[in-house]
Chain A
């Protein structure tokens, strides 16, 4: 018999005493669970997400979400781009340092490849464009309608990787594709698919394993090398006969790509943009090799190089010669008296020489002509000036004074020294003009002989040596003295002319003498008459600058006309003594 079931205990219907007991009983039975529940309730009510909690799950959370779809990546793109942009603005050096190890080798490699290709192409083009073989190929190009470069390539190429395909192994979709310079890719996605299909066909047909595959295809001059990876296939289209070493290059590139894109290859869903960075290892596969590579640089290049060196040498020599000629011109102008260079403008044509020129200096056009310069090459812009060097002062004096050939000009500083012989008129003119010549303050004429004065003195001395003899007690001229008288008359005329030239006057004393015989009175009378006779005879012609004065010699007149060196002659004759008129002579000499 089943015992009747007891109704469930309702705490609301319990008395106070029963409620206390019930609460005590519940505490005794459920205390640990109650405490734990309260702790959990408190934690949930006051839940704060700790960074350490997020940090523990964040990497896995991101990875799992990214595997699910691309929404997380899409939402992170703008944040990442903005963060990168801000980072570049704030610390460009950091970004630069970070990407330098990647960009540096890539840039170097690209430049090396481009330079190598350019030199090789230039070398070949030069070599073959001027040879007999080159002419044959030109004819072939003309005949077949191909370009010369194409024909050249066909004949000299050992091999050249023209295209490289990176194909997703499972789908046959083209992930990336590079082509060599001058090659145009076309329908590469279709080619990629067909290559995959052919591989599948061959593999199925011959019962090979999945990891096996077609390694190479050959179509005419083209070879397709295919390298299998776990996730991708690398196919290179090669013209010519590639060396086996190229396989290593392909495999190395494929390994690099697998190392870099392993996860992307496994999770590939058609987005090929993520494989853009695979371009660099693919470009490493774009290699080429031409025949006669070991031959080195073409002889044509050497000839051109030689011609270039000779050309540069000639140019350098010409430039050096031109420089020397120019320097020679400037030195010549500098050395030339009366020319001063104040500035030179060498740039441009014509070159311009600025400076000063004394009117007496050489014409600079003459210097240009001497050094084979034309006025189109060099232009002188010279302002006039006075050169005060002694040389130019003398030259200027020569022009202004016009000295006779018997005069020599010299001097130091501002003194002009004249020596030699010159006419009285020229000396007088020089005395006036000399001080106004630029650069001359004093004229020294001590060494200069006045030829007119000299002539005067000569004639004077000649006259004073003349003697007219008389007979005993006679005051008339003897017949034999007629010729002497004529000679004396001519001398007096010459003396008159000379004095006239010197702008001076002179008096000719005609002195009569007698023998001591006879009385003094008679002798004195006789001396006077003899002098007067001669004066009369001589006054027949006109005299302009001299006058005649007859007088018997006497102790009174002697001191005026005789010096101590010429004692008064004794005897029956007449002599002449010339006395310059002091006033006029001295006046002229001032």
Chain B
């Protein structure tokens, strides 16, 4: 069996934990829990007849009070860079985390996920605003952990990319 470490990166409250929970357990909760440190989950899947175990490192969301530690990112085969579509300030956090990831992991595959698509009417970001981040991403998706939209697809496509490396 192949195992790959995948980090969830993004600002606080962008929905990283909800995306992982939706992907791993198929559930969603409106109740918000701040992740402290890192929370690790796993999900096995079959990609092109290859059994793959994704070890998901749900790293706490970066904000003014706590910065993501680069050591958490070491050894990661790829990552999901999550942006909250309803808060444009999470774009900048994503850029900083992306830079940190590039420095720590090197050029590994990543998926850019603009979350909370169920609140589309409240979105503050447009594709032009995250064009720089999307240019090198293997996948750009607008997802919703609440409805499950594109969640499975995001992880599945990233997994395919991980196996290609």
Contact = CB atoms under 8 A, between A and B. Distances in A.
Interface in A184-206: 187, 189-190, 193-194, 197, 200-201, 203-204
A73 B67 CA distance: 43
B12 to A, nearest CB: 18
Contacts of A170: 74-75
B1 A173 contact: no
Nearest to A168: B75
Contacts of B53: 189
A272 B42 contact: no
Contacts of B165: 269
A194 B40 contact: yes
A189 B42 contact: yes
Given A173-B3, A270-B77, A271-B2, A203 B71 contact: yes
Contact of B1 (A187, A194, A272): A272
Contacts of A269: 2, 77, 165
A200 B71 contact: yes
Contacts of B38: 194, 197, 201
Interface in A268-290: 269-273
Given A189-B55, A270-B4, A171 B77 contact: yes
A552 interface: no
B72 interface: yes
User: How would you classify the secondary structure of chain A's contact residues: helix, strand, loop or mixed?
Assistant: mixed
B5 A200 contact: no
Contact of B41 (A174, A190, A200, A204): A190
B58 to A, nearest CB: 10
B74 to A, nearest CB: 6
Interface in B34-76: 37-38, 40-42, 52-53, 55, 57, 69, 71-72, 74-76
Interface in A235-285: 269-273
Contacts of B2: 269-272
Given A193-B40, A270-B4, A272-B1, A173 B69 contact: no
A193 to B, nearest CB: 4
Given A189-B42, A190-B41, A197-B40, A204 B71 contact: yes
Nearest to A173: B3
A561 B72 CA distance: 160
A272 B52 CA distance: 11
B40 A173 contact: no
Interface string A160-188: 00000000111111100000000000010
A74 B108 CA distance: 25
A567 to B, nearest CB: 147
B69 A200 contact: yes
A223 B4 CA distance: 28
A77 to B, nearest CB: 15
Given A193-B57, A197-B72, A203-B71, A173 B5 contact: yes
A272 to B, nearest CB: 6
B75 A204 contact: no
Interface residues of B, number: 23
A269 to B, nearest CB: 8
A272 B4 CA distance: 10
A168 B71 CA distance: 14
A415 to B, nearest CB: 104
Interface residues of A, number: 22
B40 A190 contact: yes
Contacts of A189: 3, 42, 53, 55
B55 A172 contact: yes
A409 B102 CA distance: 130
Nearest to B57: A193
A278 B40 CA distance: 25
Contact of B3 (A174, A187, A197): A174
Contact of A193 (B1, B55, B71): B55
A174 B3 CA distance: 8
Nearest to B71: A200
Contacts of B72: 197, 200
A270 B37 contact: no
Contacts of A187: 42
A264 B157 CA distance: 27
A270 B52 CA distance: 9
Contacts of B75: 168-173
A17 B41 CA distance: 91
B5 A172 contact: yes
A171 B76 contact: yes
Given A172-B75, A204-B69, A273 B1 contact: yes
Contacts of B162: 270
B42 A171 contact: no
Contacts of B77: 171, 269-270
Interface string B1-17: 11111000000000000
Contacts of A272: 1-3
B47 to A, nearest CB: 12
A502 to B, nearest CB: 125
A185 to B, nearest CB: 13
Nearest to B41: A190
A174 B5 CA distance: 10
A194 B36 CA distance: 13
6 closest Cβ pairs, A-B complex:
A171-B75, A200-B71, A193-B40, A170-B75, A270-B2, A173-B3
Interface of B: 1-5, 37-38, 40-42, 52-53, 55, 57, 69, 71-72, 74-77, 162, 165
Given A173-B75, A201-B38, A204-B69, 12 more contacts: A171-B76, A171-B77, A172-B5, A172-B55, A173-B3, A173-B5, A174-B3, A190-B42, A197-B37, A200-B72, A200-B74, A269-B77
27 contacts: A171-B74, A171-B75, A173-B3, A173-B55, A173-B75, A174-B3, A190-B40, A190-B41, A193-B5, A193-B40, A193-B42, A193-B55, A193-B57, A194-B38, A197-B38, A197-B40, A200-B69, A200-B71, A200-B72, A200-B74, A201-B38, A201-B71, A204-B69, A270-B52, A270-B77, A272-B1, A273-B1
